[in-house]
Copies of this chain bind each other. A is one copy, B any other.
Amino acid sequence: MPEERRSRLTPEDRRTQLLALGVNFLADHPLEELSLDELARRAGVSRALLFHYFASKQGMHLAVVTAARDSLLRATAPRAHLPPRERIDDTLRRFAAFVRDHSGTFVSLVRGTASGDPTVRALVDESREINAEHLWEAFAELGVTDTRTVRLALRAWVSFAEEMFVSLASGDLADDEQLVAFLVRTLDAAVAVARDSTL
């Protein structure tokens, strides 16, 4: 019966299911513990089938990290219709909610991913760039001039925020609204210093 149900999945659905299991695994384990054997066991499929989908352990890791990262990016994509200030608040609020709901996966992503594989690390670095770019767009709408110093400050502040979100993921922080307010104030302060500096 389960066999029968499995065989009805399209290749696309099967791949999605395998990736979901991989992302779930990251909730409690670092990426480096995710072997093809482990994922095959969890999915109840053969190792050969995983090879068919991902070609190698590295290919599977890349696909799982991409899926985890993309779900974070989707969950925290800025809502374009909001004015810039509200958009930043709203994005940070949804970021906090994602971190609360997927704390293990979030920490695996920003800490664990790691993995020793530069391609995997580049995926995570890329999401920092994307977040910094979104912030930049909002500040441009607020009239902030485009300088390299402001861009560097925004990228560095994304790392600041990530560290605060890791604290949130560890259960160290009680209130999302207070965290969001704190983050926005530090963000504004960093931008104010950057507008007044030339690096």
Contact = CB atoms under 8 A, between A and B. Distances in A.
Interface residues of A, number: 44
A114 interface: yes
SS class, residues of chain A in contact with chain B: helix
Interface string A134-167: 0000000000000011001101111111111001
Given A115-B116, A118-B30, A163-B159, A153 B186 contact: yes
Contacts of A153: 182, 186
Interface stretch (A5-13, A35-43, A68-76, A187-195): A187-195
Nearest to A114: B114
Contacts of A155: 163, 167
A175 interface: yes
Contacts of A90: none
Contact of A163 (B30, B156, B164, B179): B156
A59 B161 CA distance: 33
A92 to B, nearest CB: 14
Nearest to A178: B199
A197 B181 contact: yes
Contacts of A115: 114, 116
Nearest to A193: B185
A152 B167 contact: yes
Contacts of A114: 114-116, 121
